[in-house]
C-alpha cells in the first residue's frame, strides 16, 4: 500500500511553493496574461529558491526530489497561475526522456544545463527556442467568409491573427478520389444490366 502521508520536508516544500505563488505569481499573473509576455523575472526567482528542475538527480546538479514532492510544488505553482506554473515545470517534459534513455554524456550535458541556469532551455539559438506555431481553421470551425490563420508562441501564449481569402478546406489524401464513391444501388444496377 502506498502511503501519501507528507514528510516534514514535503510540508516545507509545499509551504515554500505556496508562499512563492502568493507573493510572486498571483499579484502579477493577470499582467502577463493581458500583455502576453514571458515571466522571466518569476522564472529567475523560482530558480533561485529551488522550485525548478526538482526532478533532476544530484549527479547532474539537481535536488533529486521524489515525484510526490514535485507534484506538491506543481500544485501550488498552478494555484498561483496555471500558465506560469506550467512554464516553470515544463522542463520535466524535456528531461524525462533524457533520464530514461540518454547516454551518460548526454545527461551530464543537458541536465547539467537545466540545473545550472533558469533559461537554459530557452536561450536564443538552442533547438527549444520558441517558434511560432501556424494554425489554420478547419471544416469544423464556425462558417465565415474567410479562414483565419493564427500564430501562437508556445511559451508566451501570444496569438496573432490574419485573415485570408475564402478557401475550400483540403481533404486528406485518404479521402480524395477521382470519381464519386459508388453506392450499393449503383452497383446493383450495373450488376443487373450486365446479366
Q: What pLDDT score was predicted for residue 142?
A: 56
- Please state, in angstroms and rounded to a whole number, the distance separating the CA atoms of residues 113 and 93: 15
Q: What pLDDT score was predicted for residue 128?
A: 45
What's the DSSP call for residue 1? Answer: -
- Please state, in angstroms and rounded to a whole number, the distance separating the CA atoms of residues 30 and 36: 9
- Residue 105 corresponds to which cell in the numbers above? 554524456
Q: What pLDDT score was predicted for residue 135?
A: 52
What are the structural domains, with CATH classification, of the chain?
A: 8-122 (1.10.540.10), 130-164 (no CATH)
- Please state, in angstroms and rounded to a whole number, the distance separating the CA atoms of residues 169 and 62: 49
- Residue 66 corresponds to which cell in the numbers above? 521524489
Q: What pLDDT score was predicted for residue 195?
A: 53
- Please state, in angstroms and rounded to a whole number, the distance separating the CA atoms of residues 148 and 146: 6
Distances (CA, A) of 82 to 88, 92, 105: 10, 16, 34
- Residue 169 corresponds to which cell in the numbers above? 478546406
Q: Using the structure block, give the residue that is written with the C-alpha cell 508562499.
A: 19
Average pLDDT per run of 10 along the chain, which is 195 residues long?
A: 90 97 97 92 94 93 92 96 93 89 94 83 46 53 49 45 45 48 47 53
Q: pTM for this one?
A: 0.61
Amino acid at each position: 500500500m502506498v502511503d501519501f502521508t507528507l514528510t516534514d520536508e514535503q510540508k516545507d516544500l509545499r509551504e515554500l511553493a505556496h508562499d512563492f505563488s502568493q507573493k510572486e505569481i498571483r499579484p502579477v499573473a493577470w499582467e502577463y496574461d493581458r500583455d502576453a509576455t514571458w515571466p522571466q523575472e518569476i522564472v529567475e526567482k523560482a530558480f533561485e529558491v529551488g522550485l525548478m528542475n526538482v526532478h533532476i538527480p544530484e549527479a547532474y546538479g539537481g535536488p533529486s526530489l521524489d515525484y510526490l514532492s514535485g507534484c506538491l510544488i506543481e500544485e501550488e505553482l498552478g494555484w498561483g497561475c496555471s500558465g506560469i506554473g506550467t512554464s516553470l515545470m515544463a522542463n520535466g517534459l524535456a528531461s524525462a526522456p533524457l533520464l530514461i534513455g540518454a547516454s551518460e554524456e548526454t545527461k551530464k550535458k543537458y541536465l547539467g544545463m537545466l540545473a545550472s541556469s533558469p533559461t537554459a532551455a530557452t536561450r536564443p539559438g538552442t533547438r527549444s527556442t520558441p517558434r511560432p506555431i501556424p494554425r489554420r481553421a478547419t471544416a469544423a470551425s464556425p462558417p465565415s467568409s474567410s479562414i483565419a490563420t493564427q500564430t501562437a508562441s508556445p511559451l508566451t501564449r501570444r496569438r496573432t491573427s490574419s485573415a485570408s481569402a475564402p478557401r475550400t478546406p483540403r481533404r486528406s489524401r485518404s479521402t480524395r478520389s477521382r470519381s464519386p464513391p459508388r453506392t450499393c444501388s449503383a452497383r446493383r444496377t450495373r450488376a443487373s444490366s450486365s446479366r
